[in-house]
């Protein structure tokens, strides 16, 4: 199987390279330590015999953020050296900001091809590897098996698309997933999906979702007021948050803001797009309202109405100052959704569209707890956001339900660490 993968990798890489090269140029930031992708990871020092070296791969910003409690708790034991890698430029930026002191090394995951993977493995020489959620790299897993190094998949999930694809090649999927010594699954529905694929049930452990263990940003009322002042918002203004928005969703939120202001609500809009490089696309959408773009002018003018936070790694802090949030990639032609967990953890009432397929079970659980609102059209999104903005009691009830829901789902990190210790 691995030789077939290696043979097919070359033409597939050649065909896909223009697309990924264009995307990297558009998003920017990929030049920094690009050599890591080619296997030129700095060789680590001799291992401390009293510690086990864990190589954890967290693909992007969401996973990098989510793994923080896990990394901190493992480091606190004094028994592990953590090497943390990521794939995206935004993820790497966050690694350098938040993890350098908490890890033995941080870097970029290599291209999953024999020479690059081998070089990185030789440089890191881990005692175990850990992948997150849906990441399954054949060459990476082959290197682990060849070297007798245990591999573990944590926070594992199978989206509708992934499950559909793997079902068509179930024999190959079984061979691939069975290379993990343990698969820590985030929810019961996905556990059943792994079982339906024929994955060895002894490898499957239901641990829950570690994203519930990432603490909400706890800031004082004075800090909230200071952040709002930086945005040009009054401390008593109603702040509507567009959380990880995608194309089309910003226009819907601008329309909502205008409607609320017409109704006498001092509504201010805080936009945090999923991809900061979309700023030039968003600027015309917000042009007819007083606005400020964070990377151009951090301090907004007084009485600003729209603040475009085109940065990475600040969403959790911005969420804490909001009164109501819309979670993106969930309306129009977008599918998959972005995580509603941060908003719920902060007790900020959350609204999202119907296309939350990557968070299907989380959203279902939220709705059963009366801790969120699902909408099916942009028009319904506007009417729901307006309704919630005008009804403080309704928002307070949702907020209370969110906090209870979030607390009841915590604890996955501890269970995951127990399983990591067992494989070593």
Residue 274 is inside which H or E element, if any?
Answer: none
- CA-derived radius of gyration, the chain: 22
Q: How confident is the model at residue 46 (pLDDT cuts 50, 70, 90)?
A: confident
At 297-341, the pLDDT tens digits run 999 999 999 999 999 889 999 999 999 999 999 999 999 999 999
Residue 108 is inside which H or E element, if any?
Answer: strand 105-108
Which pLDDT score, from 0 to 100, does residue 247 have? 97
Mean pLDDT of 44-62: 92
Contact between 143 and 150 under an 8 Å Cβ cutoff? The reply is no
Q: What percent of the chain has pLDDT over 70?
A: 100
Which pLDDT score, from 0 to 100, does residue 313 have? 84
Which pLDDT score, from 0 to 100, does residue 250 have? 98
Q: How confident is the model at residue 228 (pLDDT cuts 50, 70, 90)?
A: very high
Average pLDDT of the residues of the chain: 94
The CA distance from 134 to 213, in Å, is 19
Which pLDDT score, from 0 to 100, does residue 102 have? 82
pTM: 0.90
Which pLDDT score, from 0 to 100, does residue 28 have? 74
At 338-395, the pLDDT tens digits run 999 999 999 999 999 999 999 999 999 999 999 999 999 999 999 999 999 999 999 9
Q: Give me the long-range contacts of 183-188 (CB less than 8 A, separation at least 24).
A: 183/152, 183/153, 183/156, 184/152, 184/153, 184/154, 184/155, 184/156, 184/412, 184/415, 184/416, 184/419, 185/156, 185/157, 186/133, 186/155, 186/156, 186/157, 186/210, 186/412, 187/157, 187/361, 187/362
The CA distance from 7 to 233, in Å, is 57
Contact between 124 and 117 under an 8 Å Cβ cutoff? The reply is no
Q: Cβ of 147: how many Cβ atoms within 10 Å?
A: 12
Residue 276 is inside which H or E element, if any?
Answer: none
Which pLDDT score, from 0 to 100, does residue 411 have? 94
């Amino acid at each position: 199987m691995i030789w077939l993968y290696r043979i097919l990798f070359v033409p597939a890489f050649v065909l896909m390279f223009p697309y990924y090269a264009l995307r990297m140029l558009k998003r920017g930031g990929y030049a920094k330590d690009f050599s890591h992708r080619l296997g030129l990871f700095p060789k680590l020092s001799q291992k401390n015999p009293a510690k086990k070296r864990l190589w954890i791969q967290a693909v992007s910003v969401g996973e990098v953020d989510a793994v923080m409690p896990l990394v901190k708790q493992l480091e606190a034991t004094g028994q592990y050296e953590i090497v943390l890698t990521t794939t995206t430029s935004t993820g790497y930026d966050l690694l350098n900001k938040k993890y350098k002191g908490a890890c033995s090394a941080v870097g970029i995951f290599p291209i999953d091809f024999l020479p690059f993977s081998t070089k990185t493995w030789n440089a890191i020489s881990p005692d175990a590897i850990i992948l997150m959620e849906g990441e399954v790299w054949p060459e990476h897993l082959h290197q682990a098996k060849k070297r007798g190094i245990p591999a573990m998949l944590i926070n594992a999930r199978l989206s509708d698309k992934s499950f559909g694809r793997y079902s068509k090649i179930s024999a190959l999927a079984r061979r691939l997933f069975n290379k993990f010594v343990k698969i820590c699954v985030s929810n019961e529905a996905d556990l059943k999906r792994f079982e339906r694929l024929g994955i060895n049930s002894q490898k499957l452990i239901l641990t829950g979702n570690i994203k519930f263990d990432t603490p909400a940003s706890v800031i004082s009322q004075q800090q909230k007021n200071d952040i709002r002042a930086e945005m040009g918002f009054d401390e008593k203004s109603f702040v509507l948050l567009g959380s990880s928005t995608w194309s089309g969703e910003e226009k819907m939120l601008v329309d909502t803001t205008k409607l609320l202001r017409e109704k006498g609500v001092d509504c201010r809009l805080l936009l945090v797009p999923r991809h900061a490089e979309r700023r030039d696309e968003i600027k015309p959408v917000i042009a007819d309202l007083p606005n400020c773009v964070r990377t151009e002018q951090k301090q907004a003018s007084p009485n600003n109405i729209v603040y475009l936070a085109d940065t990475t790694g600040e969403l959790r802090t911005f969420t804490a100052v909001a009164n109501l949030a819309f979670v993106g990639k969930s309306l129009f032609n977008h599918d998959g959704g972005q995580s509603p967990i941060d908003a719920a953890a902060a007790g900020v009432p959350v609204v999202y569209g119907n296309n939350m397929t990557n968070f299907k079970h989380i959203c279902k659980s939220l709705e059963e707890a009366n801790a969120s609102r699902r909408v099916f059209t942009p028009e319904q999104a506007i009417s729901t956001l307006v309704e919630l903005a005008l009804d403080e009691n309704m928002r307070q009830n949702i907020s209370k339900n969110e906090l209870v829901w979030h607390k009841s789902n915590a604890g996955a990190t501890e269970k995951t660490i127990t399983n990591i210790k067992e494989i070593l």
